[in-house]
Structure 1
Amino acid sequence: MTTLADDLARDRRTARRLPASVMSNAKWRHLFTALRESGLDIPQVLVKFIDVEDMKVLGPVWLAGMPHAFIDSFNYGPFPLVSIEWLEFPRHTRLPRSGGLPPQEYAQDIDAIRACLEATGKQFSLEQTAHSLRVLGHVR
């Protein structure tokens, strides 16, 4: 059974093999805190982990009570911040619903998300397209 310390050591080794890291634990925590405190409705965030091929849907996350290098999530449990290759905020999402109902179409205000991040004064590596806003953690 692996521990959080094992996960952190593994992900740090993996991250060192990438050409560039542009986010620190402190910057990731600042980003998540700013988004939580903004009051923006952000029902879907996509995440690409450095050691996983496909992007995943990141559910609610928590910083409180977590060691500085970690974040806790509903979908994946606690994981090291260094394991985030990028986060993406899609402009249009399809949220699943229960009871056999079709997914709900939802528009996220990525311009407001970008403004929230820029208002922090931190230098985040952002890529914006017509369809999404991506925050880079590592560059390949």
Structure 2
Amino acid sequence: MGPGMTEHGRQTLRRLGTQTRRDVSHAHMSDTKWRKLLSALDEAGFGRARIVVRFIDRPEPRVMTLPKRADLWPPRPYADSITVGPLELRAITWLELPTLARWPSGDGRPVPTVPQDMAHARAVLEALGRFPLEETEQGLRILGSSGRRSER
């Protein structure tokens, strides 16, 4: 397995569940809620959106493309991502849709900055139901969990 890739076997899912229960005081999102949220954003035209994701078992947030509905593999508790490989939905601490997305060209050209429609994203998510949304300086953040026990 390459760097940055994760595995999605039962042992890994158990480990992530244990780590979440140990390290986080409140889980806001389930695998089903993440699937519902990601599917709705894809269907609303955010399929090429750039997102920033913080995973419970990673020290730094990862920049990636929003997984498409077809990448969610229900009922399995993971999504496929060309950017970071398979990712466990329950491992998402937060997911952020940045107001301005940067798309690296890979060939040394200047990196274009593309605005993403936060008002439309918020409207899509609010129409689905109650999700833990918060505005940040960078964009719209959806909380998967909160209250890190180690920060108390």
The answer to whether TM tops 0.5 is: yes
1:39 is aligned, of 40, 45, 53, to 45
Q: Is the 8 A contact 2:8 2:87 kept in 1?
A: no
Query: Of 19, 22, 25, which residue of structure 2 is paired with 1:14?
Result: 19
1:101 aligns with 2:109: yes
* Structure 2 CA distance for partners of 1:37 and 1:108, relative to 1, 3 Å: same
Matches within 5 A, 1:79-118: 79-118=87-126
- Give the aligned residue type for 1:47: V
- Residue in 2 that maps onto 1:71: 79
SS at match of 1:97: coil
Structure number with the higher helix fraction is 2
For residues 98 and 31 of structure 1, do their structure 2 counterparts lie closer, same or farther at Cα, with a shift above 3 Å needed?
A: same
Query: What is the rounded CA distance, in whole Å, between the counterparts of 2:130 and 2:84 in structure 1?
Result: 27
For the 8 Å contact 1:48–1:87, the answer to whether it is kept is yes
Cα 1:67–1:76 shift into 2, 3 Å: farther
Task: Report the equivalent of 2:54.
Answer: 48
| Residue from 34, 59, 74 that aligns with 2:65 | 59
SS at match of 2:60: coil
Aligned residues: 138
CA RMSD of aligned residues (A): 1.9
Distance 1:79 1:40 in 2: 19
Q: What runs of 5+ residues in structure 2 fail to find an aligned partner?
A: 2-6, 148-152
1, 5, 9: which one aligns with 2:10: 5
Compute the displacement of 1:130 (Å): 4.6
| Residues 47 and 66, structure 2, Cα contact 8 Å, conserved in 1 | no
Q: Per-residue CA shift, 1:15-57, capped at 9, x if unaligned?
A: 1021100001111110011011112365310000001111001
Return 5+ residue gaps in structure 1 as ranges. Answer: none
Structure 1 equivalent of residue 142 of structure 2:
135
